[in-house]
Structure 1
Amino acid sequence: MFERVGAEEAASLESLARKVRNELAAAGLPVLASGLNPVLAGGAEVDVDEGADAAGGVFVAWRASPRLRDCASRAFRLKQLDDPALWHSSAVGAAMMQAMAAILASAGFSVEDARDEYRPQQLRVLASPPSGQQPVWQRRDDELAMPGWSQDGPVD
């Protein structure tokens, strides 16, 4: 029987997933919206597994464009194993996983390979940056508008 984590742990996982999505978006990567049908778009997909077991947690995958996925699927389905779309699709996935791991590590997240046969080429996010560490992209106090000023300069 599938057991879920408690409400507090589920909220913690969702918070971690939100931070991961924000960080990848800040790097300029497209991030798939939760619940969006993957047939419609490509980009970083952040998934929360609320299972109360070793397979639970926050995972990150890369979804290539629908067109590249279709080309690779077609080649595989037709057993055209020498089709460049298969190799290229795999290379894109591997490169994007390395890039996302580097981006998240640079931002202070703890990540590792998911090491799960059901989650090939995925990352497991173990922890967010240390408490109190603000994202480098977050607005700073010196960026806030001063009285008498707008974003375009002094107000007349």
Structure 2
Amino acid sequence: MFERVGAEESAALKKLARRVRDELAAAGLPVVAPELDPVLAGGAEVDIDDGDDAAGGVFVAWQASPRLRACASRAFRLKQLDEPVLRHSSAVGAAMMQAMAQILASAGFSVEDARDEYRPQQLRVLAGPPSGQPPMWAVRDDELELPGWQDGPTGCAG
């Protein structure tokens, strides 16, 4: 029987997935909105497997544009295995997985190849940066100062 993780672990997985989406979006990558129809989706796709087993966790995949996927699917369906679009589609996926792994690692995430036959060309996110560490792109206090403020955000001068 399929067992799910508890509520606390589920919340932690959701938080980690949100942080991964935010970091990839901050890098300028399109991020697939959860539950968006796959016909419309292209970009980084972050998925949560909330199974209470070794296959559970947060995973990242790359979805090429719907048009490139349709061309590759057509060639495969017609058994045109020498069609250049198949090699190109695979190369795009591999390049984007490598890029996303480097982006996440640079931001302090621990990632690895999913090593799962059901998740080819996907990353498993093992952990995020320490919880007290703000993202690289976070708004800094010095960005919030307004001209004319003398003693900080209260606006009260001595």
TM-score (norm 1): 0.93
CA distance in 1, matches of 2:69, 2:145: 46
Within 5 Å, which residues of 2 pair with 1:95-114?
95-114=95-114
CA distance in 1, matches of 2:54, 2:38: 26
Aligned residues with identical type, % of pairs = 83
CA deviations on 1:70-123 (whole Å, 9 max, x unpaired) are 000000000000001100000000000000000000000000000000000000
- Structure 2 residue identity aligned to 1:2: F
CA distance in 1, matches of 2:37, 2:85: 22
Aligned residues: 149
Within 5 Å, which residues of 2 pair with 1:26-105?
26-105=26-105
CA distance in 2, matches of 1:45, 1:117: 18
Unaligned runs of 5+ in 2: 150-158
Unaligned runs of 5+ in 1: 150-156
CA distance in 2, matches of 1:116, 1:96: 18
Which structure has the larger Rg?
Answer: 2
CA RMSD of aligned residues (A): 1.0
Q: CA deviation at 1:130?
A: 1.6
Secondary structure (helix, strand or coil) at the match of 2:41 reads coil
CA distance in 2, matches of 1:148, 1:15: 38
